Structure 1
Amino acid sequence: MHELTETELAEILPGTWRIAATNFPMWLSGERLQPQFRYGLLSESPLTLSDEVAYVTTEGEEKQILGKDVLRRGEFVWRGKGLLSFARSRWHVSGADEQRTLLVIRFSKSIATPPGIDLVVREGSSYPHLRRVVASSTEELGLSPEDFASLGWLGV
């Protein structure tokens, strides 16, 4: 697996990604459903993205967490908007499949969250046997066997 360049990240990330597997308690609790990320390109240098995390509550209400990501020394620094403007976290893409429609995103520990992994699939992409695909591509995706074993699969 090679590390994605700033240019590759600017080409790949914009768009909508659904979380297919994760080890984050907030997505595994069953209280937040259908989680997805929407990234928009704000600037190429430094690479800056708008960041919207969307999900549905168990009552059917759509919720959003808005922020902005700036690439610094190989990782994104996320900063929330509005009431979350004090919140920050760090993340990076640790791997991608050949088509760049399946990514592994690693998050560092923050004040509000443990370190974790989200496996995301680009909206409109189909992976009928996603677990099998990921299991046979762990090195390419930057996942250890322990990482793979820690993942909970969301509706897959």
Structure 2
Amino acid sequence: MPTTPTASDLATILPGTWNVRSTNFPMWLTRERTSPRFTYSLVSEDPLVLRDDVSYRTTDDAEKHVLGTDKWAHDGFVRRGKGRRRLATTRWSISGMNEAGTVIAVRFEKSLASPAGIDILSREGVVVDELRSLVARNTEKFGLTAEDFASLTWLDPVT
């Protein structure tokens, strides 16, 4: 069983930019959105609140941003979008990570706007050799079943 990080752990680990390296989310699997990244900034530690900026590139190489706020709720976060998306909420949690806290598995619950899914993220600027093998050898540590791992598509390495 993975050790689930506490809110206090996540206040330290999550701030910064993370690249989506593997996913089973349809929105990241089309060629319409590439190079997905999540950038988290700490708003408050107690209660834990993060601001997020989900960015990606479009087919015409424009960079798009989807902004939101993530509030800790028991064992995960409730994300609320900004602007037109303020009524949309999504629940998500960190299901596991490597010892260094540079690779995390994010599990999203089904919402009105999207299916349930999993993203494997790596901290920007940190080189993780053979990421796919690392996750494959440590599925339990990342909170993944064999079926979860098999459902993932590995995205092009970030340059």
**TM tier, smaller:** over 0.9
Partners of 1:151 and 1:68 lie apart in 2 by 26
The aligned residue for residue 68 of structure 1 is 69
User: SS at the partner of 1:121?
Assistant: strand
The aligned residue for residue 98 of structure 2 is 97
The aligned residue for residue 54 of structure 1 is 55
Structure 1 residue 128, shift from structure 2 partner: 2.7
Name the stretch that deviates more: 78-87 or 124-133: 124-133
In the alignment, residue 54 of structure 1 is paired with which amino acid?
S
What are the residue-to-residue correspondences of 1:2-151 with 2, within 5 Å?
A: 2-151=3-152
Partners of 2:9 and 2:74 lie apart in 1 by 15
User: SS at the partner of 1:138?
Assistant: coil
User: SS at the partner of 1:140?
Assistant: coil
Cα distance per residue 1:58-105 (max 9 Å; x no partner): 110000000000001111000000111111100000000000000000
Name the stretch that deviates more: 88-97 or 123-132: 123-132
In the alignment, residue 43 of structure 2 is paired with which amino acid?
L
Structure 1 residue 125, shift from structure 2 partner: 1.0
In the alignment, residue 151 of structure 2 is paired with which amino acid?
S
Cα distance per residue 1:113-150 (max 9 Å; x no partner): 00000000000111231111111111111111100000
Partners of 2:34 and 2:52 lie apart in 1 by 18
Partners of 1:127 and 1:155 lie apart in 2 by 14
- Structure 2 regions of 5+ residues with no counterpart? none
Give the RMSD, CA atoms, in angstroms: 0.7
Partners of 1:82 and 1:146 lie apart in 2 by 36
User: SS at the partner of 2:11?
Assistant: helix
Aligned-pair identity in percent equals 50
- Structure 1 regions of 5+ residues with no counterpart? none
